[in-house]
Amino acid sequence: MKVPDGAREDRIVLGVQISIVICFYFFTAGFFAFLWHAVYRSVADNDHPVHAVVLASVITIAFLILASVMTMVFSVIIREGRKKFPANGGLANETEIK
């Protein structure tokens, strides 16, 4: 079945948008790996593990907040935009901002 050009382009745009979020998750996951690898080594070497756990925990919480905000904003805006205008966004000012 032949897919119309507009729909194909729409799918590509959506794909790139989802890729941005996935890249952010990868970055976050990589950063967690770096943090907790350092914690693991400090525990293994008995090199002040409590300091390491406390510091890594604080940063982990900060990154979890960032990831949650990104997920919330991306998922709601993309989903809502597609619901309203299937062709990936319509006019920018539907309600309040004229």
Cα–Cα distances in angstroms (integers) from residue 52 to residues 10, 27, 31, 44, 67, in the given order: 46, 21, 15, 12, 22
Q: Considering the complex, state which of residue 3 and residue 6 has its C-beta at the smaller distance from another protein.
A: 6
Q: Considering the complex, state which of residue 3 and residue 41 has its C-beta at the smaller distance from another protein.
A: 41
Selection from 30, 20, 23 nearest residue 78 by Cα: 20
Distance from C-alpha of 1 to C-alpha of 68, rounded to nearest angstrom: 38
Residues 58-97, mask of contacts with another protein (x by CB under 8 A): -x--xx-xx--xx-xxx-xxx-xxx-xx--xxxxxxxxxx
**Cβ at position 97, least distance to another protein in Å:** 5
18 to 57, contacts with another protein by CB under 8 A?
20, 27, 31, 34-35, 38-39, 41-42, 47-48, 51-52, 55-56
Helix (H) or strand (E) holding 41: helix 5-44
Half-sphere exposure of 91 (CA within 13 A, CB side): 6
**Lookup result for tokens 């990589």:** 30
> Which residues bind to another protein, rule: CB under 8 A?
13, 16-17, 20, 27, 31, 34-35, 38-39, 41-42, 47-48, 51-52, 55-56, 59, 62-63, 65-66, 69-70, 72-74, 76-78, 80-82, 84-85, 88-98
